[in-house]
A and B are shown apart, each in its own frame.
Chain A
């Protein structure tokens, strides 16, 4: 019973113990086991919270027993749970994947630190999702970012250092803007608790300050999410980071930043600011531009990981578009799209990692003849790729359908056209990969390094997820709807 009371905070506490242990024990195999156990523990926490939260009541927790406006509060509602489950599940799979992947991507003596950083990164991401205190949220944002800079710089390619440095500069800039926003909001309300702050905004005489606060927070988050045109840091990071890190980042990091944006925009600042026509248009236009321009960049890219990165940016555009619809339906469609993209892109980055392991580079041309060499790997590529396009039978289709449905309901035909055009371009760039992989090789290249069984295992979990949820999408969709209506009701 005592444990169940602390469920909301356990996902944060566990890595606080696990991360230093992993770094201090100094043996990479121990570090891996610790990370695995911790991440499974985190996932179990979220699963255990599922029935409570779906019962309708959010789970509140006051750190140290301090009452809510004064102490740091944690709150798990349907939205946090949705994100938390997704992140924790991806973290487990990434950890399984990382054992073999990191061993080849990272110098041996640095491995325990890599696992330590991974735990910290996941901790930061989960903390952002769980906390109900905006300063605490900033702290977790920094924890996860700092851990990520470390992880990216571990890449063996020297360009990884440059990518990490760029990411560091951009990330710090974003976080600073965010912090300024938090400061302004604090001066206007005198509180840091999200719910308390939202209530005080309504009656506060300092509306101009509040608008300024939102502007800073928005700008900071846009940098972190890598919304076009502030996306330049992202492709190099995904390309040169170790494969397992790229998986973790692509599947979770920008999405959590997006979560924070959703939370701030709809939960915190309420309809007064967030529902303003101007902001909705900004999101829609930004989303549409990202969809079209980044899909185009992906079409031109000849590096597998780079292509996936640009495609991620385009898919962020889908999610922004759904948010810009300013409706519960649009937001739940966005969340469904987020879910679908996490599965597909996670699977594809894992596949890219396996490919890099054997081929040494991630050039698309290296995929030539994949279908003949390892048909199963090719099959996974087909499934995840088609999910990215949104072909029926995959989870990507469900997300796209809901988004189109929401956009049509609200008469946003421009968004509909952009989504359709973007998915057509997605078909083109996915097919570019598939065709290369399917064509017969000139030289009969063999897989030089066997990827073991852990890497394919985690890749296939996501791939089968793409298929399964393409046919049976009730529970993610219901959870997404639940999350969206909870948030819409509160603002």
Chain B
């Protein structure tokens, strides 16, 4: 398959899937089956890319972008692929398939309304995500970044009551407002400085360009999808969405799209060396977010909200690695993108299963539930251990390289932050299963959990173990770009 054909059909698969799912709305079984088929096709597509383009990972695939429009003179809309995007595409598409299976069980068990709209919006969001991953320049990325916000709005506001609408409005206003107010001028200033927005290995900026840190700050804050404080409020607000949305979009796709944007901007526009030399002061933004979000997570009793704050904290690990911008930090950040996604989606799936079975959303109400249904809480424990960064789980590698990155940069205080945060992770994550396995006064009345939910809940957690042993190929793939 030629590269441009492969690039072209990537976003088309979920787009066509959205159309088909929309047309099949009256036959739920056919509709959901076709949704799964679409997700499977996308997975095959990304595996094809992995197999076909991994062979020559020295010769990165910069030279053959697929240009499909030109809104502004000198800046076309174009697709291309590089290793980081390939990894993200593989992660997102494999987790989409699992999430879709989970969603079929979840949406039916909860008897949610407007399921067709839900699946259509889901497909559209995935199409936007693919466009974002494949973006060859910052303008293309910006386009799909905004579209991703828009297409996820119906998913966040799915329930449609007053509280949901209020939260969904906050979600949209914060994400889109920050991108229009901060990211857009950032892009423009970059365009003025360099006359190009094309992602180029090594970056485009001169080493002694003044004002880099200030411009970079516009990006770090403007890409609010990375949820760096103080622009993080949208993520807890988005938890009003159905669990599959929180799981895939607000633990993997949307938030990782944010840090992916920052990684790409750092690696291919600013240049890692420039950021490493000039943006040291900005390190404290993610460092503070890591700690503050962890502390807030400990105070939250709503399980999904606690997980959301945990996500905010863990995302800032990636931002930290990105702003460190040395090879270890970047590698750690890129790995954390994959490892955390894999582990966190499992945690959300468990939260959804608990909701289906017992109707409980608060951690304090779960006492004793673990004795009646141990499986979800065992999986929760496994995934938590990966998030914390203990062996034998994939999460170890990302934390390991991030720690090495801080040492390499001589930032021992930041190393301390990472260590402290790991302790906090233990406190707020493991307290959930610990509480659940305590004996309770009266038994819960449990509903049946669909098999598809149980299976898809377990798969990513098991993948975390697999990733501990099989991280080497990923590291090999990412090494050339992180230096």
- A residues near B, CB below 8 A? 386, 389-393, 397-398, 401-402, 404-405, 408-409, 416, 420-421, 423-424, 427-428, 431, 435, 438-440, 470-474, 477
5 A-B pairs with CB atoms under 8 Å apart are A393-B147, A408-B192, A431-B172, A431-B173, A471-B70
Picked from B70, B71, B173, B192, the residue with its CB within 8 Å of the CB of A427 is: B173
The answer to whether A420 touches B72, judged by C-beta atoms less than 8 angstroms apart, is no
When distances are taken between beta carbons in the complex, the residues of chain A under 8 Å from B157 are 438
Which 3 pairs show the lowest CB-CB distances between chains A and B? A471-B69, A392-B143, A393-B143
When distances are taken between beta carbons in the complex, the residues of chain A under 8 Å from B143 are 392-393
Instruction: Fill in one digit per residue for B51-87: 1 if any A CB lies within 8 Å of its CB, else 0.
Output: 0000000000000000001111100010000000000
Instruction: Fill in one digit per residue for B108-147: 1 if any A CB lies within 8 Å of its CB, else 0.
Output: 0000000000000000000000000000000100110011
- Within the complex, what minimum Cβ distance (angstroms) separates B385 from chain A? 41
When distances are taken between beta carbons in the complex, the residues of chain B under 8 Å from A416 are 185
User: What is the bound-complex CA distance between A421 and B177, given in angstroms?
Assistant: 10
User: What is the bound-complex CA distance between A435 and B169, given in angstroms?
Assistant: 8
From B176, which residue of chain A is reached at the shortest CB distance? A427
**Is B465 part of the binding interface, using a Cβ–Cβ cutoff of 8 Å?**
no
| A408-B188 contact in complex given A389-B180, A435-B165, C-beta closer than 8 Å | yes
From B182, which residue of chain A is reached at the shortest CB distance? A420
The answer to whether B71 touches A473, judged by C-beta atoms less than 8 angstroms apart, is yes
When distances are taken between beta carbons in the complex, the residues of chain B under 8 Å from A472 are 69-71
The answer to whether B169 touches A470, judged by C-beta atoms less than 8 angstroms apart, is no
- B residues near A, CB below 8 A? 69-73, 77, 139, 142-143, 146-147, 150, 154, 157, 160, 165, 169, 172-173, 176-177, 180-181, 184-185, 188-189, 191-192
The answer to whether B165 touches A390, judged by C-beta atoms less than 8 angstroms apart, is no
The answer to whether A427 touches B180, judged by C-beta atoms less than 8 angstroms apart, is yes
Picked from B139, B150, B173, B184, the residue with its CB within 8 Å of the CB of A404 is: B184
User: What is the bound-complex CA distance between A424 and B185, given in angstroms?
Assistant: 13
User: What is the bound-complex CA distance between A477 and B157, given in angstroms?
Assistant: 38
| A424-B191 contact in complex given A431-B172, A472-B70, C-beta closer than 8 Å | no
| A391-B146 contact in complex given A398-B72, A471-B71, A477-B73, C-beta closer than 8 Å | yes
From A423, which residue of chain B is reached at the shortest CB distance? B180
- Within the complex, what minimum Cβ distance (angstroms) separates A88 from chain B? 25
When distances are taken between beta carbons in the complex, the residues of chain A under 8 Å from B169 are 431, 435
User: What is the bound-complex CA distance between A153 and B179, given in angstroms?
Assistant: 44
When distances are taken between beta carbons in the complex, the residues of chain B under 8 Å from A435 are 165, 169
User: What is the bound-complex CA distance between A424 and B182, given in angstroms?
Assistant: 11
The answer to whether A420 touches B71, judged by C-beta atoms less than 8 angstroms apart, is no
When distances are taken between beta carbons in the complex, the residues of chain A under 8 Å from B69 are 471-472
From A420, which residue of chain B is reached at the shortest CB distance? B181
When distances are taken between beta carbons in the complex, the residues of chain B under 8 Å from A386 are 150
User: What is the bound-complex CA distance between A440 and B176, given in angstroms?
Assistant: 23
From A404, which residue of chain B is reached at the shortest CB distance? B188
The answer to whether A420 touches B192, judged by C-beta atoms less than 8 angstroms apart, is no
User: What is the bound-complex CA distance between A421 and B143, given in angstroms?
Assistant: 20
Interface centre among B71, B143, B146 (most CB of A within 10 A): B71
The answer to whether A470 touches B176, judged by C-beta atoms less than 8 angstroms apart, is no
From B77, which residue of chain A is reached at the shortest CB distance? A471
Please give 10 more A-B residue pairs, beta carbons under 8 A apart, in addition to A427-B180, A474-B70. A393-B146, A397-B71, A401-B188, A405-B188, A405-B191, A405-B192, A420-B184, A440-B160, A473-B70, A473-B72
| A392-B189 contact in complex given A398-B71, A424-B177, A428-B173, C-beta closer than 8 Å | no
From A391, which residue of chain B is reached at the shortest CB distance? B146
The answer to whether B70 touches A392, judged by C-beta atoms less than 8 angstroms apart, is no
| A424-B165 contact in complex given A401-B72, A405-B191, C-beta closer than 8 Å | no
When distances are taken between beta carbons in the complex, the residues of chain B under 8 Å from A404 are 184-185, 188
When distances are taken between beta carbons in the complex, the residues of chain A under 8 Å from B172 are 431
From B157, which residue of chain A is reached at the shortest CB distance? A438
- Within the complex, what minimum Cβ distance (angstroms) separates B242 from chain A? 16
User: What is the bound-complex CA distance between A416 and B218, given in angstroms?
Assistant: 15
When distances are taken between beta carbons in the complex, the residues of chain A under 8 Å from B173 are 427-428, 431
When distances are taken between beta carbons in the complex, the residues of chain B under 8 Å from A401 are 72, 188
User: What is the bound-complex CA distance between A405 and B185, given in angstroms?
Assistant: 9
User: What is the bound-complex CA distance between A424 and B189, given in angstroms?
Assistant: 19
| A420-B160 contact in complex given A405-B192, A431-B169, C-beta closer than 8 Å | no
- Within the complex, what minimum Cβ distance (angstroms) separates B223 from chain A? 15
User: What is the bound-complex CA distance between A423 and B185, given in angstroms?
Assistant: 12
When distances are taken between beta carbons in the complex, the residues of chain B under 8 Å from A424 are 177, 180-181
When distances are taken between beta carbons in the complex, the residues of chain B under 8 Å from A393 are 71, 143, 146-147
User: What is the bound-complex CA distance between A397 and B185, given in angstroms?
Assistant: 13
User: What is the bound-complex CA distance between A360 and B69, given in angstroms?
Assistant: 41
The answer to whether A392 touches B160, judged by C-beta atoms less than 8 angstroms apart, is no
From A426, which residue of chain B is reached at the shortest CB distance? B180
The answer to whether B70 touches A439, judged by C-beta atoms less than 8 angstroms apart, is no
From A474, which residue of chain B is reached at the shortest CB distance? B70
| A392-B142 contact in complex given A440-B160, A470-B71, A471-B69, C-beta closer than 8 Å | yes
Interface centre among A393, A409, A438 (most CB of B within 10 A): A393
- Within the complex, what minimum Cβ distance (angstroms) separates B394 from chain A? 35
User: What is the bound-complex CA distance between A474 and B71, given in angstroms?
Assistant: 7
The answer to whether A409 touches B71, judged by C-beta atoms less than 8 angstroms apart, is no
- Within the complex, what minimum Cβ distance (angstroms) separates A473 from chain B? 5
The answer to whether A420 touches B180, judged by C-beta atoms less than 8 angstroms apart, is yes
From B153, which residue of chain A is reached at the shortest CB distance? A438
User: What is the bound-complex CA distance between A408 and B186, given in angstroms?
Assistant: 11
From A431, which residue of chain B is reached at the shortest CB distance? B172
- Within the complex, what minimum Cβ distance (angstroms) separates A351 from chain B? 18
When distances are taken between beta carbons in the complex, the residues of chain A under 8 Å from B77 are 471
When distances are taken between beta carbons in the complex, the residues of chain A under 8 Å from B160 are 439-440
From A428, which residue of chain B is reached at the shortest CB distance? B173
When distances are taken between beta carbons in the complex, the residues of chain B under 8 Å from A392 are 71, 139, 142-143, 146
From B68, which residue of chain A is reached at the shortest CB distance? A471
From A401, which residue of chain B is reached at the shortest CB distance? B72
User: What is the bound-complex CA distance between A392 and B139, given in angstroms?
Assistant: 8
User: What is the bound-complex CA distance between A423 and B184, given in angstroms?
Assistant: 11
When distances are taken between beta carbons in the complex, the residues of chain A under 8 Å from B192 are 405, 408-409
- Within the complex, what minimum Cβ distance (angstroms) separates A469 from chain B? 8
From B189, which residue of chain A is reached at the shortest CB distance? A408
Interface centre among A397, A408, A439, A473 (most CB of B within 10 A): A397
- Within the complex, what minimum Cβ distance (angstroms) separates A145 from chain B? 37
The answer to whether A420 touches B185, judged by C-beta atoms less than 8 angstroms apart, is yes
